[in-house]
Structure 1
Amino acid sequence: MEKFKDMVVIITGGNSGIGYATAKEFKLQGAKVLITGKRQDALDKASIELGVKAKITDQANLKHIDELVAEIQSSLGKVDILFINAGVASFAPIAYTSEEQFDTMINVNFKGSFFTLQKFIPILNDGASVIFLTSGNTALAMENSSVYSATKSAVSHLAKIAAKELSSRKIRVNTVNPGPTETEMQSKFGMDEATLKGMKSKMISQVPLAKMGAPEDVAKMVAYLSDNTVSSFITGAEFFIDGGMAL
């Protein structure tokens, strides 16, 4: 069933993981999809595999966002669904977190999310759906995650305020907050294989359902929140997809 036939869907950070799975879900349901990413080779590969449009975009670079919006407006017109998914993560104790780690996460996760929304507002259709990817960490006080958790919590609050500010145009704004999820991002944490395996085991031990999530779990929730036939009365809400970890 093509629930999103001919609707314009934009997914930032769509060349891997949750973004890729979400692009695939919307494409299967008939949408016109455009994904962004920072790595040309990965973006080209994903674009071909998924059969969707793609544009190189660094979410922390406001000029890139302006160029993205201009291209979408000229080639696709107004946007029906915006999934602000791109993000970065690194983990270290407060005592050992570098200024570079701090700035990178602030610039991509919070500044990038804020200005992506701001610059897309003029080309969002009335009745559009905006979904931010935050994190299950917004409900946790997990060691070594202070900056990452703070940036995602900031995005969560941003989404609630945006839901109020955009309500007059019937634009709904929600967040999806994944817990431990099997994605490519885990390989970018800078950990060796043994450390990464130990971290995964520890996380799974804290999940009541005793498993990692899949990107497709999040993709289906994003699709649900974008479907006005089933979620037209949902805005400013957070959806934890974490196997109960935040309980």
Structure 2
Amino acid sequence: MEFKDKKIVITGASSGIGLELLKELAAVPGTQIIGVARHTDPIVKLGLSDVTALSYDMSGPGHIDALLAEAIRLLGRIDVFFANAGFAYYGEANAADWTRAQDIFAVNTYAPIYTLQKLAILQKGMPFYYVVTDSALAKAAIPGFAYYSATKYALDGFFEAYRFEQPRDITLSVVYPVATKTNFFKRAADSAPLPFPTQTPGEVARAVIRGVRRGKKKIYPFASFGFFNWLWNFLPFLKTGYLALENSKFQKWRKIQKNSRAGRG
């Protein structure tokens, strides 16, 4: 699929992968883009004439309903929707905290599922492309990212099953980025270590665009990850070793946080 003259919506568009997608696609002739974020200043500051910034969060059906209604009113239809909004927690998962779990599942899992379902109704049979930012952590749960990995495993499971009943007017791509060098992981927790391997948001955005153009059902921006994900099924000790290294980072981080709290006390 080519993006020329397409009407596009991108959530989580104020930073990281979403902002890079917006900038790359705004350079394609004829595109009309709506960039969605809670804080839209970075989108507005770009000063792009065919880009409209809308302030919405993706934490509940009311917000999503309002976003889709306004986007369709402004664009007339949606050709491509990038469900990219999400956030992470990094840290221990021992505390009983219903709100913490509910908040991250609402944005990372429920929102992209509900958005697809509602958009299919509103489009009334008009074809559209739906691109979901999942994560490499949907395939390998890294210590410290228990909540985040859980949201992405759930999302992955839904779309794996959904493909069997996917309507013909919907084209679906699921994206599995590795750790991306943005504030995403800085916001996950104080001084959260960056999982290995890493990519820049620009590299991820360009890989996503290439994958959509080629109609790929699964997009691995870090090309080797798809191979290693397959290889782990036959050589599980490789995955065990990788997770041991990430656990070492997590345990060091826990020790630093514990010492920091003791120092403040």
| Bin for the TM-score computed over the shorter chain | 0.7 to 0.9
- Aligned twin of 1:110: 109
- Aligned twin of 2:145: 145
Deviations 1:178-207 (A, max 9, x none): 11111121221231xxx44xx13xx34xx3
Identity of aligned residues (%): 24
Q: Give runs of aligned pairs for residues 4-83 of structure 1, distance below 5 A.
A: 4-30=3-29, 31-45=31-45, 48=47, 52-83=51-82
Deviations 1:19-66 (A, max 9, x none): 0001111111222111101124445335x3685111111111211211
How many residues were matched structurally? Answer: 226
Q: Secondary structure at the match of 2:163?
A: helix
Q: CA deviation at 1:226?
A: 2.8
TM-score scaled by length of structure 1: 0.81
TM-score scaled by length of structure 2: 0.76
Letter in 2 for 1:100: T
- Separation in 2 of the partners of 1:36 and 1:103? 22
- Of 181, 196, 201, 1:215 maps to 201
Q: Secondary structure at the match of 1:79?
A: coil
**Conserved in 2, the CA contact under 8 Å of 1:180 and 1:242?**
no
Gaps of 5+ in 1: none
Letter in 2 for 1:76: L
- Aligned twin of 1:130: 130
Q: CA deviation at 1:224?
A: 2.3
Is it true that 1:239 corresponds to 2:225 in the alignment?
no
Gaps of 5+ in 2: 233-265
**Conserved in 2, the CA contact under 8 Å of 1:43 and 1:54?**
yes
- Separation in 2 of the partners of 1:243 and 1:181? 15
Q: CA deviation at 1:161?
A: 3.3
Q: Whose Rg is larger? A: 2
Q: CA deviation at 1:166?
A: 2.8
Q: Secondary structure at the match of 2:82?
A: strand
Q: CA deviation at 1:140?
A: 0.9
Superposed CA RMSD: 2.4
Q: CA deviation at 1:152?
A: 0.8
